[in-house]
Amino acid sequence: MTQLDIAKNGVLTNELIRCAEIEEIEVDKLRRLVAEGVVVIPKNKLHNVKKPVAIGSGLSVKVNANIGTSVGYSSIQEEIEKLKVALDAGADTVMVLSTWGNLSEMRRVLVKESYVPVGSVPIYDSAVKAFNEKKNVVDFSESDFIDMVLQHAEDGVDFMTIHVGITKGVLEKSKNSKRIMKIVSRGGAIIAGWMIKNNKENPFYKNFDEILKIAKEYDITLSLGDGMRPGALVDATDVQQLEELFYMQELVEKAYAEGVQVMLEGPGHVPLNEIEMNVKLMKKIGLGRPIFLLGPLPTDRGMGHDHIVSAIGGALAGYYGCDFLCYVTPAEHIGLPDVSEVREGVIASKIAATVADVARGLPKALRLEKQMAIARRNFDWTEMFKLAIDGEKSKKKYEAMNYTDEGCSMCGPFCAIKVTRDYMEDKTQCTTK
Amino acid sequence: MTQLDIAKNGVLTNELIRCAEIEEIEVDKLRRLVAEGVVVIPKNKLHNVKKPVAIGSGLSVKVNANIGTSVGYSSIQEEIEKLKVALDAGADTVMVLSTWGNLSEMRRVLVKESYVPVGSVPIYDSAVKAFNEKKNVVDFSESDFIDMVLQHAEDGVDFMTIHVGITKGVLEKSKNSKRIMKIVSRGGAIIAGWMIKNNKENPFYKNFDEILKIAKEYDITLSLGDGMRPGALVDATDVQQLEELFYMQELVEKAYAEGVQVMLEGPGHVPLNEIEMNVKLMKKIGLGRPIFLLGPLPTDRGMGHDHIVSAIGGALAGYYGCDFLCYVTPAEHIGLPDVSEVREGVIASKIAATVADVARGLPKALRLEKQMAIARRNFDWTEMFKLAIDGEKSKKKYEAMNYTDEGCSMCGPFCAIKVTRDYMEDKTQCTTK
């Protein structure tokens, strides 16, 4: 039985109990949210997830980090390093998106190394296999679609992106579209290419029942991928994007009936003024299922700093109800991120998630903000570094300044907190709790 | 006559004509906005501002970078370097906030070096003078307040922060406040300390007419400082902050009657869900005057990455009508920023300003986004780096990857744009304009 089935039956799993503790939410309330399908707990039966994560309505916003090899880069050591850095920086999940080297073996190693849920995109493997056999990247068979899903399930992956909404109908509509960038989803483009070349329906859509069987057996959470997500700001929120989304509703219902956990993936490149609408529409059409956004990026001109661009969009999306942010690194749109860029990406997304949690008034988030204010008021640097999202970096900078007086080198003797304390307050430590 | 007086008289200044070109706005429309006081063009008569800037309603969001020395750090060479880096990165103005070394001399050098408007906070000089004379930082006379404003005007400063709203009434109310951090504004704390120690009204408030005379003579734009801005997220949008704001309205009216340009400064630390309210309230009470925000920071836990935190808040504030963003560097709350942190701060704020301009639908901002989409679609890296807010960094990363095929090292042969082009599009260059 899946986490969803068990919750429907009123039983508490170890993962559910642990997640309720982390979220500071009453355990039966969390069970009900899982039973309703509006919260998922991704966990493959074969994967020992030591730090489970609950994603969805009413919970803190979660962060996913993408790692994985690419053409010419396939060091498993470097991927393990990326995994460690991402987890240390606070990633709640990782997706292994390798397209170079021994994919299955690397996946198994990373699943074993990861104490958080691991995601993947099975269709990549088919394209890589075709490419390695010197064929076009869309030259593989219909059964490969299903085989790859099963392979990933056996490798222990906890959630998988299945680009199930790119149907013939959606592609037909997109033919005469005014989009500047027709498809920017790697998986989406491969499936669309396969469909056009073979003149066949999307096998994930056609064989969705079979996918559900595998997902049910291993308790894979399906992440319904948005192959048609806009890839440029000027293409945002167009008919193709929405057509694909509309196909999701029946799939959400089918999965729920089978006891399979699902979430919905979303854009992408979205102007700030359209983020609220996008999130609310996804929640509405997706029947309240958890939403997993890549970004969103509210400008295309932030190359080299897309972690910042994505933090802006992610914070606002989280505030409006997005549950799960896929990080974006400074290397996005330029090349494969290195280890330090993975770290920067996770930190930026954690900041966005924190901003959203605070804005949504989550008690835990507000308590941490108050503790930080008190630490700053008391010049308690140790406590500040403990409460900071990235205490490591801020401590390093502070120590490098070698400023020994109270306060810091920014204001020196003119520190507002010191001046205020001297003239407006008693001089005891602030103990407000 | 000031830019405001001249605009009221229906005459076009060179600065106004140049700003209209930059903003791509009809010149007489811009003149009317200046004449109404809802747009300012800061320019001291003594400063040759080669790149003037118009700030306010209907225009693109502007970015200010703070530079300046602090205790133990007073290299004019390093400050000139910070100025250059800030301008290269796209800062629209700089504020010189030095508190160490020969302040007036340094200011004059930086004003001369700067082709954009320069701002300052005159009250710092009084505190620094007192400190250097081994007195308490609030030990100076009432006339020093006015003298320092005159000194800064003669040094060629284009806009000045005057913490005029911290009145006795506001301080009285703040006595029993529940704020964790009573005052975090450096200038605000010094003035409040002075007022309490001397049991006198705020000299800027009491002698506002005299300040206006100086401002009128040199055409200084007054930036009405928010000494009571909240300095911790949990202190945001409280009565003290709003009381001070409410005092601004009469001052805005007085300044307008005298032909003096003004803008309003604002917080600070504000949760994401209160940014819209803060901006709209400031616009309403401030009679539509330009708004200049420090941040805002929607979490206090981003230490070491407060440029990202501030980009989140600034983008949303800009979307809701904030006109002018004061940058925040990664060093904020830790120490004085170095040259590279100044650069990072400006870039993050420029990203926020760009996101806001796009969300507000400014035609120029949308045109650049479209050009970027086309460049990406065509794999035109030269054009991408030209359109990027930080082309320098993205070019460096791209070249370091040494990836020679079309696309980039992220997706390699599985690049969605390539796959889409092979199966869904004709293979010619995209020329949509």
**Residue B428, pLDDT score:** 52
**Residue A426, pLDDT score:** 57
DSSP string of A170-224, one letter each residue = HHHHHTT---SSS---HHHHHHHHHHHHHT---HHHHTHHHHHHHHHHHTPEEEE
How far is residue B98's CA from residue A424's CA, in Å, rounded to a whole number? 25
If we measure between CA atoms, which residue out of A302, A133, A254, A386 comes closest to residue B365?
Answer: A302
How many A/B residue pairs have CB atoms within 8 Å? Answer: 375
Residue A423 pLDDT class (50, 70, 90 cuts): confident
Q: Give the CA count within 13 Å in the CB-facing half-sphere of B292.
A: 27
β-partners of residue A119 are A95, A159
How far is residue B297's CA from residue B308's CA, in Å, rounded to a whole number? 9
pLDDT digits 0-9 by tens, A141-192? 999 999 999 999 999 999 999 999 999 999 988 878 889 999 999 999 999 9
pLDDT digits 0-9 by tens, B285-344? 999 999 999 989 999 999 999 999 999 999 999 999 999 999 999 999 999 999 999 999
β-partners of residue A264 are A224, A291
Residue B429 pLDDT class (50, 70, 90 cuts): low
Sort out which chain B residues have CB atoms less than 8 A from A331's CB and list them.
397, 410
If we measure between CA atoms, which residue out of A380, A374, A415, A420 comes closest to residue B183?
Answer: A420
Q: Would you say the C-alpha torsion A209, A214, A216, A217 has a positive or negative sign?
A: positive
**Residue B433, pLDDT score:** 43
> CB atoms < 10 A from the CB of A88, how many?
11
The distance from CA A210 to its chain's CA centroid, rounded to whole angstroms, is 26
- For residue B72, give the nearest of A271, A336, A409 by CB distance: A409
Number of H helices, E strands in chain B: 19, 10
3-state class (DSSP) for residue B317: helix
A414 and B312: CB-CB below 8 Å?
no
Q: Looking at the complex, does the CB of residue A399 fall below 8 Å from at least one CB of chain B? A: no
How far is residue B192's CA from residue B199's CA, in Å, rounded to a whole number? 10
How far is residue B242's CA from residue B247's CA, in Å, rounded to a whole number? 9
How far is residue B187's CA from residue B183's CA, in Å, rounded to a whole number? 10
Strands A159-162 and A262-266: unpaired
* Interface predicted TM-score (ipTM) over 0.85: yes
Q: Looking at the complex, does the CB of residue B61 fall below 8 Å from at least one CB of chain A? A: no
Q: What is the mean pLDDT of residues B224-239?
A: 95
Sort out which chain B residues have CB atoms less than 8 A from A225's CB and list them.
none
Structure-token match 């605000």, residue found: B188
pLDDT over 90 (residue B268): yes
Q: Give the CA count within 13 Å in the CB-facing half-sphere of A118.
A: 32
Q: Looking at the complex, does the CB of residue B338 fall below 8 Å from at least one CB of chain A? A: no
Structure-token match 């006559």, residue found: B1
If we measure between CA atoms, which residue out of B325, B236, B326 comes closest to residue B281?
Answer: B236
3-state class (DSSP) for residue B25: coil
If we measure between CA atoms, which residue out of B47, B161, B178, B170 comes closest to residue B115?
Answer: B47
> CB atoms < 10 A from the CB of B191, how many?
29
B388 and A316: CB-CB below 8 Å?
no
**Residue B426, pLDDT score:** 57
On the 0-12 / 13-18 / 19+ scale of CB atoms within 10 A, A307 is buried
β-partners of residue B297 are B269
How far is residue B204's CA from residue B191's CA, in Å, rounded to a whole number? 9
Report the gap between the CA of B418 and the closest CA in chain A (Å): 9
Report the gap between the CA of A69 and the closest CA in chain B (Å): 9
**Angle between the N-to-C axes of helices A27-36 and A14-23, in degrees from 0 to 180, rounded to the nearest 10:** 110
Q: What is the mean pLDDT of residues B5-27?
A: 98
A369 and B411: CB-CB below 8 Å?
no
Strands A55-56 and A39-40: antiparallel
Q: For the whole prediction, is pTM greater than 0.90?
A: yes
Sort out which chain B residues have CB atoms less than 8 A from A300's CB and list them.
369, 372-373, 376
Q: What is the mean pLDDT of residues B48-75?
A: 96
Residue B237 pLDDT class (50, 70, 90 cuts): very high
Q: What is the end-to-end Cα distance of chain A in Å, rounded?
A: 44
State the average pLDDT for chain A: 95
Q: Give the CA count within 13 Å in the CB-facing half-sphere of A84.
A: 7
pLDDT over 70 (residue B147): yes
- The token pair that represents A43 in the structure block: 């966990």
Q: Which helix (H) or strand (E) holds B94?
A: strand B93-96
How far is residue B239's CA from residue B158's CA, in Å, rounded to a whole number? 32
**Residue A174, pLDDT score:** 84
- For residue B304, give the nearest of A354, A374, A397 by CB distance: A397
Q: What is the mean pLDDT of residues A37-58?
A: 98
Q: What is the mean pLDDT of residues B3-26?
A: 98
State the average pLDDT for chain B: 95
pLDDT digits 0-9 by tens, A105-140? 999 999 999 999 999 999 999 999 999 999 999 999
Q: Under a CB-based contact definition with an 8 Å cutoff, are residues B261 and B251 in contact? A: no
The distance from CA B149 to its chain's CA centroid, rounded to whole angstroms, is 20
Q: Which helix (H) or strand (E) holds A326?
A: strand A324-326
A232 and B181: CB-CB below 8 Å?
no
- The token pair that represents A380 in the structure block: 């308690």
Q: Would you say the C-alpha torsion B374, A242, A313, A119 has a positive or negative sign?
A: negative
pLDDT digits 0-9 by tens, A68-109? 999 888 899 999 999 999 999 999 999 999 999 999 999 999
- Stretch among A182-186, A307-311, B43-47, B220-224 having the lowest mean pLDDT: A182-186
- The token pair that represents A284 in the structure block: 């509405």
pLDDT digits 0-9 by tens, A233-259? 999 999 999 999 999 999 999 999 999
φ/ψ of B119, rounded to 5, equals -115, 170
3-state class (DSSP) for residue A47: coil
How far is residue B164's CA from residue B143's CA, in Å, rounded to a whole number? 15
Strands B39-40 and B55-56: antiparallel
- For residue A182, give the nearest of B232, B273, B420 by CB distance: B420
> CB atoms < 10 A from the CB of B258, how many?
16
**Residue B431, pLDDT score:** 56
B298 and A304: CB-CB below 8 Å?
no
Q: Looking at the complex, does the CB of residue B135 fall below 8 Å from at least one CB of chain A? A: no
How far is residue B103's CA from residue B382's CA, in Å, rounded to a whole number? 43
Cis omega (within 30 of 0) for bond into A122 = no
DSSP string of A109-167, one letter each residue = HHHHH-SS-EEE-THHHHHHHHHHTTS-TT---HHHHHHHHHHHHHTT-SEEEE-----
Residue B345 pLDDT class (50, 70, 90 cuts): very high
pLDDT over 70 (residue A430): no
| DSSP 8-class letter at B209 | H
Q: What is the mean pLDDT of residues B12-18?
A: 98
If we measure between CA atoms, which residue out of B14, B12, B49 comes closest to residue B32?
Answer: B12
**Residue A433, pLDDT score:** 43
**Residue B427, pLDDT score:** 55
Q: Which residue of A has its CA nearest to B178?
A: A432
| DSSP 8-class letter at B268 | S
B311 and A307: CB-CB below 8 Å?
no
Q: Under a CB-based contact definition with an 8 Å cutoff, are residues A162 and A204 in contact? A: yes
Sort out which chain B residues have CB atoms less than 8 A from A183's CB and list them.
416, 419-420, 424
Structure-token match 């397209």, residue found: A99
- The token pair that represents B201 in the structure block: 């009204």
- For residue B271, give the nearest of A197, A352, A359 by CB distance: A359
φ/ψ of A61, rounded to 5, equals -75, 135
pLDDT digits 0-9 by tens, B347-405? 999 999 999 999 999 999 999 999 999 999 999 999 999 999 999 999 999 999 999 89
If we measure between CA atoms, which residue out of A363, A364, A277, A361 comes closest to residue A322?
Answer: A277
φ/ψ of A19, rounded to 5, equals -65, -40
φ/ψ of B294, rounded to 5, equals -95, 95
